[in-house]
Amino acid sequence: MLAERQSFVTHLECSMTGDRCEADQVHGLSRVGRPLLVRYDLAALAAHLDRDALERRDTDLWRWRELLPVRQTRDIVSLGEIETPLVPLPRAGGSNVLVKDEGRLPTGSFKARGLVMAVSMAKALGVTRIAMPTNGNAGAALAAYATRCGIKTVVFCPDDTPEINVREIALQGARVWRVNGLIDDCGAIVAEGAKQGRWYDVSTLKEPYRIEGKKTMGLELAAQFGWRLPDAIFYPTGGGTGLIGMWKAFDELEALGWIGPERPKMFAVQAAGCAPIVKAFDDGVEHAERWENAETIAAGIRVPRAVGDFLILRAVRESGGKALAVGDDAIERAVVQAAKQDGLLLCPEGGATLAAYHDALAAGLVGKSDRVVLFNCATGLKYPMPDDSRTLDRHAPIDFDAL
Residues 173/147, Cβ–Cβ less than 8 Å:
yes
The CATH fold of domain 111-201:
Rossmann fold (3.40.50)
According to the model, what pLDDT value does residue 386 have? 86
According to the model, what pLDDT value does residue 391 have? 94
pTM listed for this prediction: 0.95
According to the model, what pLDDT value does residue 6 have? 62
According to the model, what pLDDT value does residue 336 have? 97
Domain extents in the chain: 9-60, 86-107+209-382, 111-201
Same fold, 86-107+209-382 and 111-201: yes
pLDDT in tens, the chain (403 residues): 444 456 799 999 999 999 999 999 999 999 999 999 999 999 999 999 999 999 999 999 999 999 999 999 999 999 999 999 999 999 999 999 999 999 999 999 999 999 999 999 999 999 999 999 999 999 999 999 999 999 999 999 999 999 999 999 999 999 999 999 999 999 999 999 999 999 999 999 999 999 999 999 999 999 999 999 999 999 999 999 999 999 999 999 999 999 999 999 999 999 999 999 999 999 999 999 999 999 999 999 999 999 999 999 999 999 999 999 999 999 999 999 999 999 999 999 999 999 999 999 999 999 999 999 999 999 999 998 889 899 999 999 999 999 9
According to the model, what pLDDT value does residue 237 have? 98
The CATH fold of domain 86-107+209-382:
Rossmann fold (3.40.50)
Task: Label residue 234 exposed, middle or buried (CB < 10 Å: 0-12, 13-18, 19+).
Answer: buried
According to the model, what pLDDT value does residue 1 have? 43
Residues 287/280, Cβ–Cβ less than 8 Å:
yes
